[in-house]
Amino acid sequence: MINLPVLVLNYSYEPLNICQARRAIVLIYRGKAEMLENDSGFIHSANHIFQVPSVIRLAYMIKRPRPVHKLTRFEVFNRDHHTCQYCGKAIRQLTLDHVIPRYRGGEHTWENVVSACVLCNRHKAGKTPQEARMKLMRPPSPPHDNHSFYIPYHYLQTRTDWQKYLPTGN
């Protein structure tokens, strides 16, 4: 119970981080954060009973620079919302696909890399989408959101109490 994930929000309700319940309880106890959601139960100490938070908000504003999105598997899957860009299936087992294959001059850029399920990637193989008679759901482009924090895929399905605090892009 002490290791349960807790969503940490900035003073402005912007998602900052995910920490463990133990850290969240310490922040609340010291007055550095407030509890917004608490559906996880209770933790008992020798002298106190603490509610286990699932969402906390810091009592002060954290300013941090917005990171530049690097071209990684994680960032491509987040840009594509963990969805195959050919068949539209939202699954966990995704691969990266180069729209124009690299051996045919395609580059490893935001405009040429998409998420694809294993079946679609095998079907497309080393062809272009036109040659394989496959259509992209939307053309690939660099991520254009301003959100620098992403919720890991498995939390998007299981932590429904976090949804109202997340940007609509997650």
Q: What is the pLDDT of residue 119?
A: 95
Predicted pLDDT at 9: 93
Residue pair 62/8 in contact (Cβ under 8 Å)? The answer is no
What's the pLDDT at 153? 66
The C-alpha atoms of residue 107 and residue 109 are separated, in whole angstroms, by: 6
* Residue 157 belongs to a domain: no
Residues 152/77, Cβ–Cβ less than 8 Å: no
Are 74 and 118 part of one and the same domain? yes
pLDDT in tens, 1-38: 678 899 999 999 988 889 999 999 999 999 999 999 88
Phi and psi torsions of 132, nearest 5°: -85, 0
Same domain? 50 vs 85: no
Torsion of CA 90, 1, 8, 47, to 10 degrees: 170
| 72 and 130 housed in the same domain | yes
Q: Is residue 156 part of a domain?
A: no
112-141 pLDDT, tens digit each: 999 999 999 999 999 999 999 999 999 999
Q: Is the confidence at residue 159, as pLDDT, over 60?
A: yes
pLDDT at 147 over 60: no
Residue 96 domain flag: yes
Structure confidence at residue 49 as a pLDDT band (50, 70, 90): confident
> What are 53-112's pLDDT values in tens digits?
999 999 999 887 776 778 999 889 988 989 999 999 998 899 999 999 999 999 999 999
Nearest to 2 by CA among 58, 48, 59, 50: 50
Q: What is the pLDDT of residue 42?
A: 86
Read off the DSSP letter of residue 55: E
CATH number of the domain encompassing residue 122: 1.10.30
What range does the domain containing 31 cover?
A: 5-64
Residue 162 confidence (pLDDT): 84
For residues 91 and 133, membership in a common domain is answered with: yes
Our count of domains for the chain comes to 2
pLDDT confidence tier of residue 168, bands split at 50, 70 and 90: low
Q: Which of residues 45, 64, 83 is at a domain's end?
A: 64
Domain-embedded: residue 166 = no
Does 170 fall in a domain? no
pLDDT at 94: 94
